[in-house]
Amino acid sequence: MPMLSVSNLSRRFGSFSLKGITFDVAEGEYFVLLGRSGSGKTKLLELLAGLEYPDSGNIYVDGVDKTRERPQDRNVGLVFQDYAVFPHMTTYDNIAFPLRVRHVSEAEIRNKVTAIAARMNIVSILSRRTHNLSGGELQRTALARTLVVSPRLLLLDEPLASIDASLKDDIARLLRSLNRAGQTIIHVTHDFAEAIGMATRVGVIHNGRLIQTGTPSEVFDHPVNRFVARYTGVRNIFRARFKKEGATWIATTEKGLRLILEASEYPDAGMLIIRSRNVKLFTGIGNTDKQNLITGIVVEIVATPSGIDIEILAGERIFASITDGEHLPEDLREGSEVRFSMDPADLVFIKRTGSDDSE
């Protein structure tokens, strides 16, 4: 039995709707819900936390229907993006607040607050008022206040979005540590690189619909449609028609680029994607045995934190990424001719869809 099970959850918010959301989260998972601003991520968290109720569908925690229960009866903790700490209180009193609401004795509160503050590495700021805290300290205080009541499920709304880049690694390590210790987490973000670094499993939400769930590699390497592909960083996306020539399947793109496909069965038409890292550059007269060996003209070379990105015109516009340490053709420059290949095994077929295919 999954720890959390969401079944066909729908809710209208004015002109926006969450529609038929269904997914499970196993105990101990780190589930990242990925989507653009306005996609419905935060609204879904509010439904899970009990701050809003769905129009239809159900929420189960450990097999118990929690759909209509009050927030305090769900054993679910939510950390808001803006932290929502009380500025007139000290860090200690902020963390103690949910325990006092539950009428826990002051002696037990003291023990629990001290223990969770030590875990969050904020013992030294317990006496300070929160309006004097840094973004990282506020984040740790908000986490401590939520975790002090030992929630079964921890919900995080963009937990890395409002803190300095220098502190993000520290908070990310803290969250991974909590998860390794057994805390089940649902973390919403718009940043797919963040999702890769944190998630056990990923869900992609768009226009109020959950489009795809799976492990990071399943979602990022095998997106179900164009939107997911674009959102997860794919730049090489081609509409194509497919035809079998003898024993070989050939894809022909809209601009006439012909590509050999991996052995399989294909419909008449669809889409192909290939990650930029899988476009391989060559120099010299060798490597003629490569499949899908293509000649093009370098349009642009752009430095990136991890290497360089190269745009090539070969009928279609092709993007290649070369990471630091990889061999780079010595005569590579804008306007020069370059050869590159795309292995058939790296060409991923996706079906064309309707509205979820939009960007």
In this predicted model, what pLDDT tens digit does every residue of 309-326 receive, in sequence order?
999 999 999 999 988 767
Over residues 279-284, the mean pLDDT reads 78
Over residues 60-89, the mean pLDDT reads 91
Q: What per-residue confidence (pLDDT) applies to 124?
A: 94
**Mode of pairing for the β-strands spanning 30-34 and 201-206:** parallel
163-191: pLDDT as tens digits = 777 788 888 899 999 999 999 999 999 98
Q: What per-residue confidence (pLDDT) applies to 45?
A: 96
For helices 135-147 and 91-101, angle between their N-to-C axes, nearest 10 degrees: 20
Question: Residues near 114 by Cβ (< 8 Å), separated by ≥ 6?
Answer: 123
Alpha-carbon distance of 262 to 349, in angstroms, equals 10
**% of the chain exceeding 90 in pLDDT:** 69
Q: 286 pLDDT band (50/70/90 cuts)?
A: low
Q: What per-residue confidence (pLDDT) applies to 197?
A: 86
Q: What per-residue confidence (pLDDT) applies to 133?
A: 87
Phi, psi of 259 (to 5 degrees): -130, 135
Over residues 63-71, the mean pLDDT reads 94
Q: Does 281 have pLDDT greater than 60?
A: yes
DSSP assignments along 322-357, one per residue: EETTS---TT--TT-EEEEEE-GGGPEEE---SGGG
Domains delineated in the chain: 4-230 (3.40.50.300), 236-357 (2.40.50.100)
126: helix, coil or strand? coil
**Mode of pairing for the β-strands spanning 337-342 and 293-304:** antiparallel
Q: What per-residue confidence (pLDDT) applies to 290?
A: 77
